[in-house]
Chains A and B, each alone.
Chain A
Amino acid sequence: MTYRFDFSWLPLYWPVILKGLLTTVELILVGALCGVALGVACAGVRALGPRWLRPVVAAYVELIRNTPFLIQLFFIFFGLPSLGLQMSELQAANLAMVVNLGAYSSEIIRAGIEATPRGQFEAGASLAMTRFETFRHVVLIPALQRIWPALSSQIVIVMLGSAVVSQIAAEDVTFAANFIQSRTFRAFETYFLSTALYLLLALALRQALRGVGSLLFPRRAAR
């Protein structure tokens, strides 16, 4: 018996796959939007926030970057309830995504901010802008533009990492694959299908991020 591929289950389980896709897309949308926002906030704090807050942010970033996403997810979903913090698996998954991407993107964005020529801060200051106004209007957009490719890759990596949220019964693409597999016993086909779906998602996401980039930074200014 060499293995025979059998995709006859596909029509029956199509809704499950679709739901999984939607969940994964939701995870990445929420994760990317809130995560990058959190990253900007953290990078901002580390650049010009109150001194006491900087080590706090640094600790958060280091902790997240040096522990696996899976463990963060378990901690949030299974661990936090014993502190009275209960949330649904989707909320937990979203939170984990945001927390994770927030830490990574803050490091990337910080690099972009640090690459800002000092003259930009000084020009802002000498035009009577406050530090925050300078950050907001002068520094941020070019900094984001500088690191947009790196940030895009990180978002794709985090999207692929989201596959483990099926571990807490969040019904994403991987969950769909596992679910179908447990009903049809067609392990290979289901994993094959979901791998293809992720590959497509990754390509589409990268394309979308390129689009967002060209909207946010309509001109490719030199450096």
Chain B
Amino acid sequence: MMTFTVWDILRNLLLAARWTVLLSLVSFLGGGLLGLALLFLRIGKRRAGRLFVQGYVELFQGTPLLMQLFLAFFGLGLFGIDVPAWLAAGLALILWTAAFLVEIWRGCVESVTRGQWEASASLGMGYVQQMRYVILPQAVRVAIPPTVGFSVQVVKGTALTSIIGFVELSKAGTVVTNATFQPFTVYGLVALIYFALCWPLSKSSQILERKFNVAHRHH
């Protein structure tokens, strides 16, 4: 009978944490791109686009990520679309991430005052030029802290992919618990690894926030 040393436990958890990191990166990058596309629809002039994004956000923010994972994994499979676990996990996480990012970013774009739109319009700029040269550069600065802050939610969200069989950090935790019968140690270690991944992100988001707020006070 093989026995797990604490080092075995930690090593296996760390190996599994690679998946957590990879999934987080995929969902954040994919969700970021999708979120950006949706953002343009959301603040664009076309009503249909705005309504579509509103509905999208309502749906994906209004249902548990867990259910989205289930549906992406088994739901699509029933229609004969073969979705491997990594794809379902990636897909659900990307859609979910995008739904939150688009709302965060919309708030940032709207925080740019109306005067900036009007001033740039009265200088003869068109919509795209206003966005490109005046609005987005300002919105991006405001957007960085909450975006970094949200990345913590994404890292934690990847834990749910364990439910569709993805052996990332959480799943590795349960599997190892079962091979070792040391739940306290294993879940303690799992929590610590998550903390080590997330805390720097939260902290830097706080620091950025403070920095930008100070910068704002100069106005």
Residues of A that sit less than 8 Å from B by CB: 2-3, 62-63, 65-72, 74-75, 78-80, 82-83, 156, 160-164, 167, 174, 177, 187-188, 191-192, 194-195, 198-199, 202-203
Binary contact track B182-199/A, C-beta < 8 Å → 1, others 0: 111001101100110011
Known contacts A62-B199, A63-B195, A82-B184; is-contact A70 B63 (Cβ 8 Å) = no
B65–A160 contact, CB under 8 A?
Answer: yes
Chain B residues, Cβ within 8 Å of A191: 67, 70-71, 74-75
Report the minimal beta-carbon distance from A12 to chain B, rounded to whole angstroms. Answer: 21
A192–B187 contact, CB under 8 A?
Answer: no
Cβ < 8 Å to A, chain B residues 44-91: 59, 61-68, 70-71, 74-75, 78-80
Known contacts A188-B78, A198-B67; is-contact A67 B160 (Cβ 8 Å) = no
Whole-angstrom CA separation of A62 from B183 in the bound complex: 22
Chain A residues, Cβ within 8 Å of B198: 65-67
Main secondary structure of the interface of B (DSSP, over half): helix
Residue from B75, B79, B152 with most neighbouring chain A CB atoms (10 Å): B75
Known contacts A71-B159, A191-B74; is-contact A202 B79 (Cβ 8 Å) = no
B188–A79 contact, CB under 8 A?
Answer: yes
Residues of B that sit less than 8 Å from A by CB: 59, 61-68, 70-71, 74-75, 78-80, 152, 156-157, 159-160, 162-163, 170, 173-174, 177, 182-184, 187-188, 190-191, 194-195, 198-199, 202
Main secondary structure of the interface of A (DSSP, over half): helix
A67–B67 contact, CB under 8 A?
Answer: no
Whole-angstrom CA separation of A156 from B58 in the bound complex: 12
Contact among B64, B66, B74, B183 with A188 in the assembled complex (CB-CB below 8 Å): B74
Report the minimal beta-carbon distance from A132 to chain B, rounded to whole angstroms. Answer: 27
B67–A71 contact, CB under 8 A?
Answer: no
Whole-angstrom CA separation of A65 from B151 in the bound complex: 12
B188–A75 contact, CB under 8 A?
Answer: yes
Contact among B67, B177, B191 with A163 in the assembled complex (CB-CB below 8 Å): B67
Chain A residues, Cβ within 8 Å of B202: 62, 65-66
Closest to B182 in A: A82
A174–B188 contact, CB under 8 A?
Answer: no
A-B contact pairs, 8 of them (CB 8 A): A3-B80, A65-B198, A66-B156, A66-B194, A66-B202, A82-B184, A163-B65, A195-B67
Residue from A2, A65, A68 with most neighbouring chain B CB atoms (10 Å): A68
A67–B195 contact, CB under 8 A?
Answer: yes
Chain B residues, Cβ within 8 Å of A68: 156-157, 159-160, 170, 194
Chain A residues, Cβ within 8 Å of B61: 202
